[in-house]
Structure 1
């Protein structure tokens, strides 16, 4: 039994600007972390936007199979985005004051510095509550939904990082999923000592099929949005040899779906591309298990839980050589990296995987399974328990 297992349970308040039913990496991380902490006996409270404007209050919700208290703050839909909701900033501070005086948490863990996280950090710091912050946000990723002109976008990015700086300086510890993401955060703020802590997953929840494939299927899992650059994958498919008979499954939904469906039609590959829309966890895992290659062209991943899920499913990975993806994909071992945006190079990498002998393909599968072990969720939980108690500071 570890030292943290023998200590008294904590009352932990998670501040999330995105949470269930949203589907994205930050929400999934907060859900898994919260559920894992409940399993370890902690009293977990989550602050999240309401599912609809009329909803405001505290509710017992089942998240990742575990019951916890979720405090839903009244929020409004951001219509340029397909699902994003936000709490009115001038109300968030009042909500935070009331909640903190009632819940009295031992520690606050904010998952962003935007509205909910900002309000909880400011009011928590006033009360001397320990604050841990995890950054999942790049202001650059929000630009597609701002409807701002180019000059205003540059000012928005500068303002966004300055706002992050002001909030993160209130935290006793700041984490982000990878070393590269930590370096990126330190370059854009005055914060130093940012700790890379993997989002983590439980690999045993996924099934790897190590038998030879009878069909060639590419799969992508994630939000169907602009920064994921799914169009690059679509443009690569016509470049593949016809005898490979490659099909492509896009698991997820988003504002770019209709545009990408039209692009597939224009490229003449509609009969080989499937857009599943939103699916259940069981369906998602089945798509991963049955695929041949996981392909991701995104240029804005701070870690990519979807890529880790594919690795836990025993898939070779073909990924853009951008942001944190090289932390997961070791070129020539469990997959290949291609220059971001280069559909010709992407097609070449896919071909290299699909032309392998069964023995070489199996070697890549096993390499993915081995590489994902360091991202076990229990390691992540151990680290955050230490951060919550201040034990990592002492060391």
Structure 2
């Protein structure tokens, strides 16, 4: 490890396991991966209940839980109020004395850590996983109010992240989105990464010989799982297809009702939240993975399916075209277009040779997203941020020292 390399890292996360979402999963992989490389990693995140706590895991990150509050718009998401945690965050940074702070959002924990780190002279790296659409769906607002709320949310994100030395986003499309919203400075695409070896299982089969289409993710508005359900009765009758849905969320009851209304409830399996091995088994036994979401800054679930060697049918929206190369490892369909989704699924499900070729291509495409490469990149960015901070600090000290001579005194 190079001399002077940052070894004490604080990761600020407004969502962290046991939360189940892409940002929480990435923060966990990042923290455990860096700790596994010998860094002293501290995670600062909301408590799962009202009171805070600290947990030290031998060989892993130390997790500092801050006092948090439940929200009326989501059953599990909790928030930290900046003025309530400000003192504790400052004390933590003083005690830990990190070389770098890496925040995963601009919400309560992220913005409080950025402010405290700036006061302490600690360099900040920020990663954006945010799109307003991921939150607006929880608060029913009419069109104009929703648009105004999105503009305000982006303005707030821009204001907070401008205080970071380096900002990253999971894909080039996600970087472009930040620039379109007016964020300037150093913004770089860095994949969230996966431990690809975990998904290299032998293909499995269900208890029957039915073809299986899989969705994995939150059952919330922006995931558009209803489009997949509406496509199911439009598939050719000769194809015996079952849709498996792994995950839970605010729209589950509504989706179960829609399956009954469409007359396909006997062909849809809602697994809910399941353990890691059950998720791996679901990837292994499916024939096609489907991602109809329209607010994906990267889509870890899609990457996991690709690592499992599966063809993907996805909405032609946001970052999904970075993963799905039409005709090579899957197909794209116009967002919200159930007949087009049915046509795409039918063309792949009906041809075993095409499924095999596309599955092999998925593995090739996702290979560059291995978590090891992501950790390498962030280690380099931490070092770059720390060195830039030291140069700036030295320059400022020089300015203060030289000022009397230049002033003529």
Query: Is contact 1:168-1:191 (8 Å) kept?
Result: no
Partner of 2:286: 291
Q: d(CA) in 2 for partners of 1:157 and 1:229?
A: 19
Partner of 2:396: none
The answer to whether 1:127 aligns with 2:123 is no
**Matched ranges for 1:1-395 at <5 A:** 8=5, 10-53=7-50, 55-61=51-57, 67-209=60-202, 214-356=209-351, 358-390=352-384
3-state secondary structure, aligned to 2:298:
coil
Query: Is contact 2:125-2:385 (8 Å) kept?
Result: no
Q: d(CA) in 2 for partners of 1:210 and 1:281?
A: 16
Task: After superposition, give the CA deviation of every residue in 1:300-348 in whole Å (9 maximum; x if it has no partner).
Answer: 0000000000001111000000000000000000000000000000000
Q: d(CA) in 1 for partners of 2:4 and 2:266?
A: 57
Query: Is contact 1:9-1:41 (8 Å) kept?
Result: no
3-state secondary structure, aligned to 2:331:
strand
Cα shift at 1:12:
0.4
CA RMSD of aligned residues (A): 1.9
The 3 A distance-change label for structure 1 pair 135 and 290 is same
TM-score by length of 1: 0.94
Q: d(CA) in 2 for partners of 1:140 and 1:91?
A: 27
Cα shift at 1:36:
0.5
Query: Is contact 1:207-1:285 (8 Å) kept?
Result: no
Cα shift at 1:209:
3.5
Q: Which moved more, 1:114-123 or 1:85-94?
A: 85-94
Cα shift at 1:9:
5.6
Query: Is contact 1:49-1:85 (8 Å) kept?
Result: yes
Partner of 2:407: none
Greater radius of gyration (CA): 2
Q: d(CA) in 1 for partners of 2:385 and 2:6?
A: 15
3-state secondary structure, aligned to 2:88:
helix
3-state secondary structure, aligned to 1:83:
strand
Q: d(CA) in 1 for partners of 2:228 and 2:238?
A: 18
Cα shift at 1:94:
2.2
Cα shift at 1:210:
5.4
Task: After superposition, give the CA deviation of every residue in 1:14-70 in whole Å (9 maximum; x if it has no partner).
Answer: 0000001001000011100111001100000001110111x21322258xxx53211
The 3 A distance-change label for structure 1 pair 147 and 88 is farther
Task: After superposition, give the CA deviation of every residue in 1:92-129 in whole Å (9 maximum; x if it has no partner).
Answer: 32222121111111100000011100000011011110
Q: d(CA) in 2 for partners of 1:114 and 1:74?
A: 14
Q: d(CA) in 1 for partners of 2:327 and 2:382?
A: 39
Q: d(CA) in 2 for partners of 1:336 and 1:393?
A: 44
Task: Give the unaligned 5+ runs of structure 1.
Answer: none
The 3 A distance-change label for structure 1 pair 128 and 323 is same
Task: After superposition, give the CA deviation of every residue in 1:161-197 in whole Å (9 maximum; x if it has no partner).
Answer: 1111111111111000000010001110232431000
Question: How many residue pairs end up in the alignment?
Answer: 386
TM-score by length of 2: 0.90
3-state secondary structure, aligned to 2:74:
coil
Q: d(CA) in 2 for partners of 1:7 and 1:382?
A: 16
Q: d(CA) in 2 for partners of 1:240 and 1:13?
A: 49
Task: Give the unaligned 5+ runs of structure 2.
Answer: 389-409
Query: Is contact 1:387-1:393 (8 Å) kept?
Result: no
Q: d(CA) in 2 for partners of 1:89 and 1:121?
A: 11
3-state secondary structure, aligned to 1:314:
coil
3-state secondary structure, aligned to 2:75:
coil
